[in-house]
Amino acid sequence: MTSLRVPLSFPLLCLLMIVGTFGTEWSVKYNQQEICALKGSTVFMNGTFTHPEGLTVTEKFWVIDPALNPSWPDMSQNPDYSGRVEYLGDEQKLVSLKLRDVMKKDEHEYCVRIKTDQEMQKYLQRPGVRLTVTELHVEAPEEVTEGQTADLTCKTTCSLTDPFIWYKNGHPLTTKTIKNNQLHLQTVSSEDAGSYSCAVGGSQHLHSTAHSLRVRYPPKRVSVSISPSGEIVEDSSVTLTCSSDANPPEKNNTWFKGSTPVGEGKNYSIPNIRSDDSGEYRCKSRNDLGERRSTAVQINVLYPPKNVSVSISPSGEIVEGSSVTLTCSSDGNPPVKNYTWFKEGGTSPVGSGQNYIIINITADHTGLYYCEAQNDHGALRSAGVPVSFKGYPVILYVALGVGLCFIFLVVLTAVFWRCSESRRKRQDGNTDQPIYANEGQKDHSPRPPPEDKSSVYANVAVFKKQR
């Protein structure tokens, strides 16, 4: 038995005498003489005792540090333990102490004191139970680069027999390698970054202080957002923002339209956006560990119709009675919904649709025509296009003249042939008649009937008329 190093007073001297007299019959056995407990946990100290026959136990309680406090007061009366101490056990053999919410200042030696119905029969057993209060803390690197390994250790100031439990961001870890009080992270990734704490079985609610593990990695999840969202109308202003997940944060962002660099920085602004600003945009984010490009976003600039024009088919001179088609063309986004046709000088539209057809054209159709193109963002009219009446084309007159000349030549040839034939027949008839000596002598022989000259003269008349 360890000696009590306190001044020897008369009561103490009497106690020692009693212990000497009845020492073989008094005993207290503690189940554990060294207890390491977590701060905030509940501790149980147990023991059994025996006493000499003929004595009745009147009190049994625990005292703290009897070597430092010779009066050995009941610890349950100490204000520092108010509401935290509870004695358990039966009247004869068991003495138990339940101490809740242990603190660092509870690190003492705890002993059992027994009083009996005889004033001089008191007993205290030393050494008692030595309580050590420890806290958990995580020992780990502050930062690790993606792809490396990392070990996290749950540290205590004394040995704990219960298994260690690890938490990440307050949730238990079950898929990582845990050996004794160490958590091993193999091939660290950015997902391993977070707040780690540890606990021991039976006291899972008593976590260690959290340790923040940072993981360095190149840019990930690079994306582009557009402000304002929704439709983009010509002449408005648009801002593109590049976002990424990177540690350390990105140093530089480069903007591309298609494959052409167009700007630098986290934001890329386009004031007074035009239709030719439409296209695919993306950003490239870069830090000390690498770079990555975002997926492309499409900018579609909406604008009212522009470059409105009219074409005519067929082209060239317009002939009376023919048909022409006027076609209206324009550039607009969204595409033109309505085409309306007007004739200059009129008060109302003459047609609708992209094409306007004039069938069996006459002089009444001549004039300036224009179209109006309209979409959701505005309307625009084309310049006027003339539709003029030219009559029959020259080739018709040429063909008519050639035809008349051909007919005239045929008729003239026929007249001359008939005249020549009549003259020949007349000459042939004169050679058969007798020759008279004078005018008075006439030939009374039969003569052929006189030739009908009316058809010849008629042909000549037609010829003169046509000339």
The CATH architecture to which 10-134 belongs is Sandwich (2.60)
Q: Give the closest residue to 383 by CA, choosing from 311, 278, 276, 461.
A: 311
Domain ranges of the chain: 10-134, 138-209, 219-299, 303-387, 396-418+453-467
Chain segment 226-245, per-residue pLDDT in tens: 999 999 999 999 999 999 99
- Return the pLDDT at 441: 42
8 against 383, higher pLDDT? 383
| Residue 314 half-sphere exposure toward CB, CA atoms < 13 A | 7
CA dist 206 and 102 (Å) reads 12
- Return the pLDDT at 430: 52
DSSP code for 228: S
Tell whether domain 138-209 is in CATH 2.60.40.10: yes
414 against 44, higher pLDDT? 44
DSSP code for 149: -
Chain segment 404-456, per-residue pLDDT in tens: 767 878 878 877 777 777 777 666 655 444 444 344 444 444 454 444 444 44
Helix 454-466 vs helix 394-430: crossing angle, to nearest 10: 150
401 against 248, higher pLDDT? 248
In a 3-state reduction of DSSP, which class is residue 456? helix
Tokens 């409105």 locate to 308
Domains 10-134 and 219-299 share a fold: yes
87 against 256, higher pLDDT? 256
| Residue 16 half-sphere exposure toward CB, CA atoms < 13 A | 13
Mean pLDDT to the nearest integer, 289-313: 95
Q: Regarding the domain with residue range 303-387, which homologous superfamily does it belong to in the CATH classification?
A: Immunoglobulins (2.60.40.10)
Domain spanning 219-299, CATH class: mainly beta
The distance in angstroms from the start CA to the end CA of the chain is 168
Position 254 pLDDT exceeds 80:
yes
